[in-house]
Structure 1
Amino acid sequence: MSLPKRQTITKVLFRPYYVIVLVVSTALFCGVSWLAEKTAPQTGPLPPPSPPAAQPPISTELVLVGDVLREQLRRRPRHEVSRKGPEPFFTDFAADYLGGIITNASPTYQDKTIVSFAGIPIFYETPNSPSIMLHRSVHKLNETDHWKMDGRGGNFSIALHEPTIIHSFGYRHVNVTDVHPAPAHFTFAVRSNRHESPHRVGRWVYNATVGGLQRFYLEKPITAQFVDVRVLSNHGDPDYTSMFRFFVFGERDSRSFMELY
């Protein structure tokens, strides 16, 4: 039996397929090294920062616009109406949670609303009192939160908790589906004390077609503690006038506040 021929290392290494594998491996290694070198982040000193861009001068247009608006506010006519809500720096001093109360009012319309069940009357619903005009939150009013003033007009008086510098007042009507009971023409008067004669400030008109909260501005602020409102007419209802929410906007009189201490 003959033994296999011995193969030297040189013959094994230089076989064709070994040469091909070696060449391909070398090419792959060189390609990966070149790609890693190209994608590596460049190191070196950072470039100098660019000079800041020139800022444009501050325009005085806003200041001028503000002055114009303040001048227009000062010269605002007393009959001007704003549908915006209460201004942040003015408080509703007529609200009952701040001490506002109704001291005098016209008779209430007695409509004898019947509450029934299955056609059987159970009881007569008591009408709301005038104090509801100062009680309800402006965001929670519904069509039943109103005082029915007897007739096409009447009056009511509000006592504020303390002397107040009054800048404006307002009224909000809710039931816009039937505008006839809404107040139309009315006057606004003030008093310093309970026994003083009312000082009439002016006459205004509530626009029931627009509805919502409407604000009425005085020609100049006036200090008072009692407010008298007289409704001269409504928008056509012959039986009663609906009064929802009444506001007196102003600020505390610092002189009367200091007298307490």
Structure 2
Amino acid sequence: MKININISNPDEWKLALPPAGGDKQWKDKFSAKELAKIVTNYKNYVGKDFELLLQDNEEFKGLKLINVFPEHLSHFDDNPRDPRHHDLACIAEKDGERIALCFEAKVSESFDKRLSSWQNSDGKKTRCNILCKNFFGCNYNDKFKDVYYQLLSAVAGTIAFASENGCSKAYFIVYQIIPEEKKTSDHKKKINDFIKLVPTAEKKEVVGSGSFVNLGGLKIDRKNEKGEPLCAEVYIGYIEQKVTGEKID
């Protein structure tokens, strides 16, 4: 596994690529620091290389990570000030195919605001309508009010990352980290509520760790160098990763 910059431990991760929320997000049993410990396997934290952890899931048997990009930004539309912030983005190979994987790490954190909260300004309404058209086939309406904006922007950012890196298949993964003695949130229902509204999605649900659903071929309005919308076959899924809760000195 090759991390795209020289990072071998969480301290180097924070120094090179601090989380968007700064020190208030950089704590034990919070997703930013826990993910850094997992990906760097700090002090044998999870006992396996991150690539091997992914291979424990049936979906990723035989997967080989080529490049790993922590705290990666993907521009999924023409707004330069508000890209998708992936906790981790990866380029991998599986069965001879180049694929993209983008991660949203969680411990007890929830998803961001619902789409109903994105109707209080013309700019937010416009962005919300574009994303709803891309994935649901129409502008925002009350049917989508309880969908979480973070899911739409994450899928859009995953498509952008995949297209920019020559991947026709892309995975957006909610990576639920489960430390000892820490209450976590169950995000599966929120993912499934989103899946049910995507007309191209397979008629099944995310049911547990390592479970994925094919959303079908999706596109976003951002254009490539040929003037074509960015697109990818998108899978959405959920992985649970238990950790020991060890503290970093």
TM over 0.5: no
Richer in helix (by share): 2
Bigger radius of gyration:
1
- Greater share of strand residues, 1 or 2? 1
Q: Give the TM-score of the pair, scaled to structure 1.
A: 0.25
Which TM-score applies when normalising by structure 2?
0.25
